[in-house]
Amino acid sequence: MIYRMLKEDVYSVGVIDWDRRIFDELIQIPNGTSYNSYIIKGNNKTALIDTVDPTKTDELLDNLKKLNVDIDYLVVNHAEQDHSGTIPDILKIYKNAIVVTNSKCKELLSEFLPIPDEKFKIVSDGETLDLGGKELEFIITPWVHWPDTMVTYLHDVKILFSCDFFGSHRASSDLFACEDIYMAAKRYYAEIMMPFRAIIRKNLEKLKNLEIDIIAPSHGPLYKNPAFIMDAYKDWTSDNTKNEVIIPYISMHGSTQRMVDYLVNSLVERGVSVKPMNLTYTDMGEVALNLVDATTMVIASPTVLTGPHPSVVYATYLANALRPKLKLVSVMGSYGWGGRMLDQIRGMIDSLNVEIITPLIIKGFPKEEDYKKLDEMADEITSKHKILGIIK
Ligand code: FEO
């Protein structure tokens, strides 16, 4: 994508990756992504904010060439390679450029990339850098989503360069976000930010007194209405959950499917929102997305050999690793001749601070008494949701 002007002397010079469909060989990104990078021209000095994924180096270099700038400072908000991977190429061409970053980020960059120590300028929290008529302020925001993360605030024109913070995986030729970005931003939050919810809340507090006209993240479109995405983050990182049950499940021969279908109806009759997710057709990003607000997760699986189905193992592992604000968990499923599915699933959710709802593991197809037990499970969930005050 060609460079574009955000404000006078401030340019977007990053790259759109229309075709990328998986990130870190882990996260599915159905709408592609972008690696945003920015040029700020002061009266005396010019700064480049972050670089791009190494697969897109040529496009960034081409934009810089067309813009006809020299680079004095290369500000690195975060060491992960999708933003830092092009640094060595930049330093080869712009020989006077100095890498400006915090000490933790420098430590990581020095491990990942061949950057000589003398090329670094280390900044601390709140430190400023004068470009001549334009001043950058560096604000350390650790664990959004690595220990090195910081954001850079451009005084005067009030732009916050937030790197991964407030980002989204969306390839779009539109520079600025519309409200339809909400779900993409939420999915992105779920996939990489959610495990650090508590510290992200503190970092949001740290930014609350800044006057911000534009949030310019390093993935996805920019925000002309910063309150839109900041309020969304406040909601997602709060302790509040919604009157929602999610059911990640697999059914091999129909027994678990019958249990899921019955429980869904039983919960709906009791006024609870339910999201069944057949893991054969649901990507893990969607599972993560649905974990952001849910109060309850019911894991449902048939027995494969002696344990849960591998797709259920993956979803359970993911839920445990992402540490959502779930309050209640239960397990249900069926077996043919035995197994230890329940114990194995229980052993996989040790990072979740949840109450366990009475599980239900049955032999074969569900029978009359099993359906009664599913109604009891629905009663138990509904009554806990009432106690939590999320059913009005
Ligand atoms: Fe977009 Fe943490 O890198």
Tell me the residue type at 125.
Answer: D
Torsion over CA: 119, 124, 125, 126 (sign): negative
CA of 260 relative to ligand 1 center, distance in Å: 37
User: What number is the average pLDDT over the span 199-210?
Assistant: 97
CB 214 within 8 A of CB 160: yes
Residue 301 has pLDDT above 80, yes or no: yes
Nearest-atom index, ligand 1, CA of 35: 1
The CATH code that applies to domain 244-383 is: 3.40.50.360
Burial of 371 per CB tally in 10 Å (0-12, 13-18, 19+):
middle
Burial of 193 per CB tally in 10 Å (0-12, 13-18, 19+):
buried
CA of 347 relative to ligand 1 center, distance in Å: 31
CB 231 within 8 A of CB 90: no
Residues 346 and 197: their CA atoms lie apart, in Å, by 23
Consecutive H or E run containing 59: helix 57-67
Tell me how far CA of residue 256 lies from CA of 45, 241, 251, 357, 381, in angstroms: 64, 27, 5, 18, 19
User: What number is the average pLDDT over the span 155-164?
Assistant: 96
Burial of 369 per CB tally in 10 Å (0-12, 13-18, 19+):
exposed
Which class would CATH give 4-237? alpha beta
CB 245 within 8 A of CB 274: yes
Ligand 1 atom 3: residue of nearest CA: 80
User: What number is the average pLDDT over the span 67-78?
Assistant: 97
Residue 1 has pLDDT above 90, yes or no: no
Percent of the chain with pLDDT over 90: 96
The pLDDT tens digits for 73-108 are 999 999 999 999 999 999 999 999 999 999 999 999
Nearest-atom index, ligand 1, CA of 149: 2
Give residue 317's pLDDT. Answer: 97
Give residue 339's pLDDT. Answer: 81
Q: Cβ of 233: how many Cβ atoms within 10 Å?
A: 22
CA of 142 relative to ligand 1 center, distance in Å: 13
- What's the half-sphere exposure (Cβ side, CA atoms, 13 Å) at 376? 11
**Is any atom of ligand 1 closer than 6 Å to the C-beta of 82?**
yes
Give residue 2's pLDDT. Answer: 86
Ligand 1 atom 1: residue of nearest CA: 164
Binning pLDDT at 50, 70 and 90, where does residue 179 land? confident
Nearest-atom index, ligand 1, CA of 146: 2
| Radius of gyration, alpha carbons of the chain | 24
Residue 367 CB contacts under 8 Å (≥ 6 apart), including other chains:
none
Give residue 26's pLDDT. Answer: 85
The pLDDT tens digits for 311-346 are 999 999 999 999 999 999 999 999 998 889 999 999
Residues 65 and 71: their CA atoms lie apart, in Å, by 11
CA of 145 relative to ligand 1 center, distance in Å: 8
Give the start-to-end residue ranges of the domains of the chain.
4-237, 244-383
Binning pLDDT at 50, 70 and 90, where does residue 167 land? very high
Provide long-range contacts, Cβ within 8 A and 24+ apart, for 236-239: 236/186, 236/189, 236/194, 236/197, 236/292, 236/293, 237/197, 237/198, 237/200, 237/201, 237/204, 238/201, 239/325
Mean model confidence pLDDT for the chain: 96
Q: Cβ of 192: how many Cβ atoms within 10 Å?
A: 23
Residues 33 and 81: their CA atoms lie apart, in Å, by 15
Question: Considering the entire predicted model, what is its pTM?
Answer: 0.96
Give residue 337's pLDDT. Answer: 87
DSSP state of 118: G
Q: Are strands 328-335 and 296-304 parallel, antiparallel or unpaired?
A: parallel
Give the three-state DSSP class for 341.
Answer: helix
User: What number is the average pLDDT over the span 56-78?
Assistant: 97
Residue 273 has pLDDT above 90, yes or no: yes
Phi–psi pair at 202, nearest 5 degrees: -65, -40
Residue 217 has pLDDT above 90, yes or no: yes
Tell me how far CA of residue 179 lies from CA of 73, 139, 251, in angstroms: 34, 27, 36
Give residue 25's pLDDT. Answer: 84
CA of 4 relative to ligand 1 center, distance in Å: 22
The per-type count for the chain, helices as H runs and strands as E runs, is: 12, 23
Percent of the chain with pLDDT over 70: 100
Strands across the sheet with 150-154, in order?
A: 128-130, 135-140, 150-154, 159-163, 214-217
Tell me the residue type at 210.
Answer: L
> DSSP characters for 132-195?
SS-EEEEEE-TTSSSTT-EEEEETTTTEEEEETTT------S-SB--GGGHHHHHHHIIIIIGG
User: What number is the average pLDDT over the span 293-306?
Assistant: 96
